[in-house]
Amino acid sequence: MKKEIIHNVDPSPLNGRLPGMEPKFTSQIEEDEIPWIPVRSQRNADGSESHVWEKWVAFSTDPMYLALFAKWDPGMIVRKHGHFSPHVLIVLKGEFQCGDRLCGVGTHIELPLGADFGPFIAGNEGVELYEVMMGDPRSWSDDPEAMQRVLKENGVTPLPDPPINLPAGLKDLRDVYTKAEKENPQSK
């Protein structure tokens, strides 16, 4: 009989306890504990700016996963994309459009590895989410035309992505998609 090993741990003992492992608690409410960081920005048709803000409450590299709270300002647009891991999210407050579907409070979205969703447009009151990526949380996109179409329809100009610090030497891939969206000749 072959012995199963999960994350370099033999699960055969009757319990799964690992010495030294303890639960970690964080709060969305206690603002000073973990900061809200801007991760996407845009200039709206009226000249104002909107952002996606994230609070990374758990970011592990072994095993790799990311859990976060997100706040999107009203009208914020996020490109159609997928992640390099399975991804789940739930809408906590407000609403957003995901492709052709309106997603309000309580909506749960499961995005399997290899699938994409969006583009997204936050509602008039914005949207708040809880998200978990079960593996590499970085995203990919292969449909810059969809983003250009939504930006043009809404009179929105993407702004440079604010800098973020990823753990374990992970490379920030966001600029790859921003360049593709700007350089796509079919979107002009």
Q: What's the pLDDT tens digit per position in 40-77?
A: 999 999 999 999 999 999 999 889 999 999 999 999 99
Write out the two tokens for 80: 């159609």
155: left (phi over 0), alpha (psi -120 to 50) or beta: left
- Per-residue pLDDT, averaged over 132-149, amounts to 93
Query: pLDDT at position 179, please?
Result: 55
Query: pLDDT at position 188, please?
Result: 36
| Residues 71 and 53 sit within 8 Å (Cβ to Cβ) | yes
pTM reported for the whole predicted model:
0.83
Q: How far is CA 166 from CA 16, 22, 173, 174, 176, in A?
A: 29, 23, 11, 12, 16
Where is 154: in which H helix or E strand?
helix 144-154
| Residues 61 and 168 sit within 8 Å (Cβ to Cβ) | yes
- Per-residue pLDDT, averaged over 166-171, amounts to 82
Q: What does the mean pLDDT of the chain come to?
A: 88
pLDDT band at 18 (very low <50, low <70, confident <90, very high): confident
Query: pLDDT at position 162, please?
Result: 92
- Per-residue pLDDT, averaged over 63-92, amounts to 96
Higher-pLDDT residue of 93 and 176 is 93
Query: In this model, does residue 178 exceed pLDDT 80?
Result: no
- Per-residue pLDDT, averaged over 2-25, amounts to 72
pLDDT band at 185 (very low <50, low <70, confident <90, very high): very low
CA-to-CA distance for 167 and 188, rounded, in angstroms? 36
Query: pLDDT at position 72, please?
Result: 98
pLDDT band at 182 (very low <50, low <70, confident <90, very high): low
Enter the CATH code of domain 37-160+175-182. 2.60.120.10
Query: pLDDT at position 187, please?
Result: 39
- Per-residue pLDDT, averaged over 164-178, amounts to 79
- Per-residue pLDDT, averaged over 146-170, amounts to 91
Query: In this model, does residue 27 exceed pLDDT 50?
Result: yes
